[in-house]
């Protein structure tokens, strides 16, 4: 069973609850982001520190 929960804040892809599991991520501001966009935003926030 799947139920439409909402749409991704970034790409507008529909986000479903499938068998009790959400197909995305709920942000701190209560918006939804799909897994694909969530992964992209995490890549952008990664900082690399130079080795000493």
**pLDDT given for residue 46 in this prediction:** 46
Residue 52 resides in a domain: no
Residue 28 resides in a domain: yes
**pLDDT given for residue 26 in this prediction:** 92
Say how many domains are in the chain.
1
Hunting for tokens 């995490």 — which residue is that? Answer: 42
**pLDDT given for residue 49 in this prediction:** 58
Question: Could you read off the pLDDT tens digit of each residue along the chain, which spans 52 residues?
Answer: 899 999 999 999 999 999 999 999 998 899 999 999 888 655 555 444 566 6
**pLDDT given for residue 1 in this prediction:** 85
CA dihedral 33, 23, 25, 38 (to 10 degrees): -50
Residue 32 resides in a domain: yes
């Amino acid at each position: 069973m799947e139920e439409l929960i909402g749409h991704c804040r970034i790409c507008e892809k529909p986000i479903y609850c499938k068998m009790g599991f959400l197909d995305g991520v709920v942000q701190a501001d209560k918006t939804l982001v799909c897994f694909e966009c969530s992964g992209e935003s995490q890549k952008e926030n990664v900082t690399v520190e130079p080795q000493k």
